[in-house]
Amino acid sequence: MVAARSSLALMSCVVLAALAILVGLGTWQLQRLAWKEGLIARIETRLAEAPVPLPATLTDESNFLRVKISGTYDHAKAQYFYTLNKGEIGWRVLTPFQPQAAAPFMVDRGYVPDAQKPLAAAGQSGPVEIIGAVRLDYLEKVLFTPDNDPGANSWYWFDLPAIGKTTGVSGLRPMVLQLDTSDHSGAWPAATALSPKLSNKHFGYALTWFGLAITLLGVYIALIIQERRKRTAKHD
């Protein structure tokens, strides 16, 4: 009897600790949800605002900031980043851009289908004024992202040092400017809609942790009821 009570007490301690952890994880995911929703709201606000000059110093608050800037493209050094558009294989065209009296950076001019890739090499020459959103988290490498192939001009994630070496453009700023609208007279590349596209699965994660906590509590209660029935049967 004493051994059974000791075992039950130990199980209760373990269950309570596990419940505390699961509830804590669920609560943390709800906090993350509130943070992510706030971040998305701030980004959407930035994208709705009128463009401003490109800041000299980039901060986290510069991400998705719409800017207007003048300069010139170096279309001969355009680089192509693999992408899918509605299931169609294609490329995002990133071209070095030299602003007036500022450090150069890469501009995402938009999407081109694989078959139309040669048409994206040309573009407007001479000084141009472009409007787009600053991207500080452009095509980051994640699990299972393929390796870049600079020799074939096939990129899968934004590797700034490698791009600088491949293009021969020194001092590239750690950013990409994604255009609002196409900046050419032909069909390609076609600018795509600006969107934060941030993963926001925190509510689902919270439900998972809380669900596990409820399941564990249910199993624990069932075991307690079963144990009491056993004790009652012994006394009878």
pLDDT digits (tens, 9 = 90+) for 129-172: 999 999 998 888 888 899 999 999 999 999 999 999 999 999 99
Predicted local distance difference test score (pLDDT) of residue 68: 93
Instruction: Please name which of 62, 77, 69 lies closest in space to residue 163, comparing C-alpha atoms.
Output: 77
Same domain, 69 and 153: yes
Same domain, 142 and 92: yes
Q: Please tell me whether the peptide bond between 189 and the residue prior to it is cis, using omega within 30 degrees of 0.
A: yes
Predicted local distance difference test score (pLDDT) of residue 142: 84
Same domain, 142 and 173: yes
pTM of the model: 0.74
Asked if residues 92 and 140 have their Cβ atoms less than 8 Å apart, the reply is no
User: Residue 204 falls within a domain, yes or no?
Assistant: yes
Same domain, 227 and 141: no
Same domain, 82 and 128: yes
Q: Which two tokens stand for residue 63?
A: 């991400």
Same domain, 170 and 104: yes
Element (H, E) at 177: strand 176-179
Same domain, 146 and 111: yes
Asked if residues 98 and 130 have their Cβ atoms less than 8 Å apart, the reply is no
User: Residue 189 falls within a domain, yes or no?
Assistant: no
Predicted local distance difference test score (pLDDT) of residue 101: 80
Query: What is the per-residue pLDDT across 20-64, written as a single tens digit (0 to 9) for each?
Result: 999 999 999 999 888 888 878 887 888 888 899 999 899 988 899
- Helices (H) and strands (E) counted in the chain, each on its own, are 3, 6
Write out the residue range of the structural domain in which residue 218 sits.
2-42+200-235
Same domain, 33 and 80: no
Element (H, E) at 91: strand 88-99
Predicted local distance difference test score (pLDDT) of residue 235: 63
Asked if residues 22 and 212 have their Cβ atoms less than 8 Å apart, the reply is yes
Query: What is the per-residue pLDDT across 96-107, written as a single tens digit (0 to 9) for each?
Result: 999 988 899 999
Predicted local distance difference test score (pLDDT) of residue 23: 92
Same domain, 229 and 130: no
pLDDT for 201 beyond 90:
no
Predicted local distance difference test score (pLDDT) of residue 5: 65
Same domain, 169 and 90: yes
pLDDT for 4 beyond 60:
no
Structural domain total, the chain: 2
Same domain, 27 and 71: no
Query: What is the per-residue pLDDT across 66-79, written as a single tens digit (0 to 9) for each?
Result: 999 999 999 889 99
pLDDT for 2 beyond 60:
no
Q: What is the mean pLDDT of residues 195-218?
A: 86
Three-state secondary structure call for residue 118: helix
Same domain, 164 and 74: yes
Predicted local distance difference test score (pLDDT) of residue 41: 82
Asked if residues 141 and 71 have their Cβ atoms less than 8 Å apart, the reply is no
Q: What is the mean pLDDT of the chain?
A: 86
User: Residue 95 falls within a domain, yes or no?
Assistant: yes
pLDDT for 1 beyond 60:
no
**Residue 42 amino acid letter:** R
**Residue 230 amino acid letter:** K
Give the residue from 179, 209, 224 where a domain finishes. 179
